Homo-oligomer: A and B are copies of this chain.
């Protein structure tokens, strides 16, 4: 395999809760998954080198870009992106934008800075597309639901929700090769007449849009049932669905752990492991920035190496699909 057939994923190793070593470990695991993958690791050089050595990484498929600054959750996103020119995220975005071999970026730091940076570095020229933050969640029917927006756009206009519908639809085509993704609109009832002002107006616009496969309103009970492949909502409501699902699943699993300990029945722990794998709403790679020129994925701040590995895998899959993501 020559270098041209290889694809490069840029990974900002800084800014996560668990530190660079965990991110690099996940990157090394991703290298084992895909023989045509190159990772470009951006951040503190000595930390990166130490972690690479520890994991016995194939160095011919690793690029290291040393940086001395980092953007944290305490920085103001816009100011930080503009002023911290040697921050790992700014370097990573620059490389992603300028190097045609680079197919996407992973970051586990500040969501706000990643969104602002994605807008500033990766906007579609000539288009007024507002980037959205999506999450791919495991559906009850065994498939996946792309929830969009999950918190980037808190106050929305109907036209923005229509944009989210298109962005989510395109992503599900590219990511899972779905031919005609079903688009649902989150509401407080399945009937067309249900919804707040925003949802009612959006419903009419989506109904008239023949370029997407709109299946109508979806209630909260069925948000993740799999009745739709893309679930459209404003960032406030989407944030509730995402975080509430996480909260309830975690609570029930913790309850089972307690129950298992009380009964002393070892078989319950296998069940707990099954549930943790099935209902870990973070494992699929945190947030995906839609509406930019190249895919950018926000891993959870507390992402472990498995989560980083999955996230990189998503970007490899996207790059392998011909229908290039925009």
Interface of A is mostly: helix
B155 touches A197 (CB 8 A): yes
CB-CB < 8 A to A255: which residues of B? 275, 278
Interface 9-mer from A29-37, A44-52, A232-240, A292-300? A232-240
User: Which residue of B220, B235, B243, B259 contacts A239 across the interface (Cβ within 8 Å)?
Assistant: B220
Bound Cα distance A95, B244 (Å): 40
Q: How many copies does the complex hold?
A: 2
Q: Is the CB of B241 within 8 A of A240?
A: yes
A98 to B273, CA, bound (A): 57
In the complex, chain B residues whose CB is within 8 Å of the CB of A237: 236-237, 240
Which residues in B have their C-beta under 8 angstroms from that of A265? 267
What is the number of residues of chain A that contact chain B, defined by CB distance less than 8 Å? 48
Docked-complex contact A252 and B223, CB < 8 angstroms: no
* Whole-angstrom CA separation of A242 from B189 in the bound complex: 12
User: Is residue A268 contacting chain B, with contact meaning CB distance below 8 A?
Assistant: yes
A235 to B188, CA, bound (A): 8
CB nearest neighbor in B for A254 = B140
Residues of the B chain whose Cβ atoms lie less than 8 Å from the Cβ of A186: 240
Q: How far is the CA of A196 from the CA of B265 in the complex (A)?
A: 46
A224 and B241 contacting across the interface, CB-CB below 8 Å: no
Report yes or no: B245 in contact with A154, Cβ–Cβ below 8 A.
no
Tell me if B247 and A274 are in contact (CB < 8 A). Answer: no
Interface string of A258-302 (1 = CB under 8 A from B): 010001010110010011001100000000000000000000000
Q: Does A86 contact B (CB under 8 A)?
A: no
Asked if B246 contacts A249 (CB within 8 A), the reply is: no
A320 located at the interface, meaning its Cβ lies under 8 Å from any Cβ of chain B in the complex = no
Taking CB atoms, residues of chain B closer than 8 Å to A259 are: 271, 274
Contact B275 A196 (CB under 8 A): no
A189-245 residues with Cβ-Cβ distance < 8 A to B are 195-197, 199, 219-225, 234-237, 239-245
| Known contacts A196-B154, A278-B255; is-contact A221 B236 (Cβ 8 Å) | no
In the complex, are the beta carbons of A271 and B274 less than 8 A apart? no
The yes or no answer to A63 lying at the interface (CB within 8 A) is: no
When distances are taken between beta carbons in the complex, the residues of chain B under 8 Å from A252 are 249, 252, 275, 279
Known contacts A252-B252, A252-B279: A151-B244 contact under CB 8 Å:
no
C-alpha spacing A7/B243, complex, angstroms: 42
Residues of B within 8 A of A140 (CB): 251
Ranked nearest first, the 10 interchain pairs of A and B with the lowest CB-CB distance are: A220-B243, A188-B239, A221-B247, A220-B244, A221-B243, A220-B240, A248-B248, A196-B236, A154-B196, A244-B244
A-B contact pairs, 8 of them (CB 8 A): A140-B251, A220-B244, A236-B237, A240-B240, A240-B244, A241-B244, A248-B279, A271-B271
